[in-house]
Amino acid sequence: MDVIPCGPGFGAELRGTTLSDIASDEDTYTAVRAAFEEHSVLVLRDQDVSDDVQLAFSRRFGQPEVTKVGSQGTGTYFVVLSTIGPDGSAVPPDHRMALRAKANQLWHTDSSFKRLPALASVLSARIIPEHGGETEFVSTRLAFERLAPDMQQQLENSYAWHDYAHSRGQIAPDLASPEERAALPAQCWRLVWRNPANGRGALYIASHAYAVEGMEASAGKALIDELTAAATAPGSFYLHQWRIGDVVMWDNRATMHRGRPWPAPEPRLMVRTTISAAETDGLASMRPPFGQAAE
């Protein structure tokens, strides 16, 4: 297997291996896990992907997440990102499915709004539009490392609140349904996630983050916006242009990503599996000392 860097200081393509090799061979898994800890985004091309193969691969890295209420694939291990309606053609731009795709176009990390946040996500392309529909990534580890030491220290001792309804509310006020709101109370996490494999810290921010504990609401929001802008500065992106057979895996502790738009009439279908973070992935130090909000 070759590990070939492909982004601005992060991201690597794995060549000469397959999802099945990684799922079944201990030494290959160990090498891929090391590449994941180091490069944060891993790209595999020309894969023979099925739901089963993707799930078996994902399981090597930890416990797969069960898809939440309100998402396509709810109750399974798969999140189906699709704008294809029941009649087989793309839904109109004001349809809930299209609005959800638009919410995915905000810079975010997956599952920061869940009780158990995510270590990693694995995304495979099943139907892709001819133009657009790329996925962009930035490294929040490199963004953290670009900050002044006193700012780093302040953030390391700060906690942000994350709420699914907040990110969806930026697209449409009622995009988060009452069921989703009830199932997903806001969660609070340290603003810096330190990777136990290499000791490196990363900003833990997302479109879901809306407040900083102990800061006045607008000042906290301004800090989150400022950190997001710094993390997504020009020149810091890896843009993934999808081909059928591509699989991209990313570290939700150390990156943000966003989908890019594509012409509305064209269908796009992607399938994601998500791996929950374990205490050994650094989750232990992410929890606030004051506990989460009462439900």
Residues found near ligand OGA in the complex (CB under 6 A): 81, 104, 110, 121, 123, 135, 257, 259, 270, 272
Compute the least distance from the CB of residue 161 to ligand OGA, in Å: 20
With CB under 5 A, what is the number of residues at the site for Mn ion? 1
Q: Is 65 in the site for Mn ion (CB under 5 A)?
A: no
Which of these ranges, 18-26, 38-46, 109-117, 225-233, lies near Mn ion under the rule CB under 5 A? 109-117
Report what 39 binds from Mn ion, ligand OGA, none; CB cut-off 5-8 Å by kind. Answer: none
Which residue's Cβ lies closest to ligand OGA?
Answer: 259
Euclidean distance between the first and final Cα of the chain, in Å? 47
Report what 194 binds from ligand OGA, Mn ion, none; CB cut-off 5-8 Å by kind. Answer: none
Which tokens hold the place of 122? Answer: 């694995």
**C-beta separation of 122 from 273 below 8 A:** yes
Which residue's Cβ lies closest to Mn ion?
Answer: 110
DSSP 219: H
Report what 246 binds from ligand OGA, Mn ion, none; CB cut-off 5-8 Å by kind. Answer: none
- The sheet with strand 41-44 has its strands ordered as 2-5, 12-15, 41-44, 247-251, 118-127, 269-276, 79-82
Compute the least distance from the CB of residue 281 to ligand OGA, in Å: 18
Phi/psi for 153 (5° steps) reads -65, -40
DSSP 283: G
Compute the least distance from the CB of residue 259 to ligand OGA, in Å: 3
- Closest CB to ligand OGA among residues 195, 252: 252
Report what 135 binds from Mn ion, ligand OGA, none; CB cut-off 5-8 Å by kind. Answer: ligand OGA
d(C-alpha 125, C-alpha 179), whole Å: 29
Which tokens hold the place of 144? Answer: 């953290």
Compute the least distance from the CB of residue 114 to Mn ion, in Å: 12
d(C-alpha 168, C-alpha 176), whole Å: 6
User: What's the sign of the alpha-carbon dihedral 196, 197, 202, 204?
Assistant: negative
**C-beta separation of 86 from 72 below 8 A:** no
- Closest CB to ligand OGA among residues 83, 195: 83
Options 13, 65, 110, 246; binder of Mn ion; rule CB under 5 A: 110
Phi/psi for 208 (5° steps) reads -75, -20
What residues make contact with Mn ion under the rule CB under 5 A?
110
